[in-house]
Structure 1
């Protein structure tokens, strides 16, 4: 098992096709990571970590957990820090890059490497209501 410094990302997981699958949402502060995560949580997903995510590789897969100081909590902008249902750890199968503008209709496949593991990367404007559905659709294609 290899470990790196925490990644500036919010991570959520959903039980899909018989297993828990995680999505790491990337972007700078204010990009909409927590907002997108809260909308996914509203659809039955679980929070793994908000804002910073501890990442490690094991057995050719990528896993994440929350740093202890922030475990179980997420920032709801304008409301404060709130507790939500969580998952202690998750195997990550997709990364989502939050962008401040619309993305190409049919982009070339992208990936991003974490701890020596390449993850499919979905570039996404997290603000539209459909962003939650786009993440779910991308997860189903894996």
Structure 2
């Protein structure tokens, strides 16, 4: 059964989910917007429904906010949304290692690679795509 998790944003890149974790105002929605501009699909903004299907953790849009993304200074916009198997978690931080080694987060007993990530650094969306390619679950 899916469990709604607040304060996590998720996008799907090439069909693989990237959880974006961080405190309010840390840049979750902004990073998601940058990734969507590069071809990602919204899963959920400031909330996702997580569910274990077999051995795979899936993220889906919660029904009450499906397709809604908050853009600061603009408001809430409607976007296409999807669900995706979770491949990586980015934990937004003010400082992140220059050459990181991923840790892991755990949901429903399933370990997911987790990387400390600076969303406000230059080229954040491109770096997030490379992080998925390098550290994400295939």
TM-score by length of 1: 0.89
Aligned residue for 1:112, secondary structure, equals strand
Residue of structure 2 in register with 1:8 after alignment: 7
Residue of structure 2 in register with 1:130 after alignment: 123
Query: How many angstroms does 1:7 deviate by?
Result: 3.9
Alignment partner of 2:89 out of 92, 95, 98: 95
Map Cα deviations across residues 58-106 of structure 1 (whole Å, 9 max, x no partner). Answer: 111110111111001100011100012221x11010001011x231112
Residue of structure 2 in register with 1:74 after alignment: 69
Query: How many angstroms does 1:109 deviate by?
Result: 2.5
Most deviating of 2-11 and 75-84:
2-11
The count of aligned residue pairs is 135
Map Cα deviations across residues 43-63 of structure 1 (whole Å, 9 max, x no partner). Answer: 010001000111011111110
- Contact kept in structure 2, 1:4 and 1:115, CA below 8 Å: no
TM-score by length of 2: 0.91
- Contact kept in structure 2, 1:7 and 1:55, CA below 8 Å: no
Please, which runs of 5 or more residues in structure 1 have no aligned partner?
A: none
- Contact kept in structure 1, 2:4 and 2:47, CA below 8 Å: no
Aligned residue for 1:24, secondary structure, equals strand
Residue of structure 1 in register with 2:97 after alignment: 104
- Contact kept in structure 1, 2:21 and 2:90, CA below 8 Å: yes
Alignment partner of 1:40 out of 17, 20, 35: 35
CA–CA separation in structure 2 for the residues paired with 1:119 and 1:6 = 15
Please, which runs of 5 or more residues in structure 2 have no aligned partner?
A: none
CA–CA separation in structure 1 for the residues paired with 2:78 and 2:103 = 33
Residue of structure 1 in register with 2:106 after alignment: 113
Once superposed, what is the RMSD of the aligned Cα atoms?
Answer: 1.3
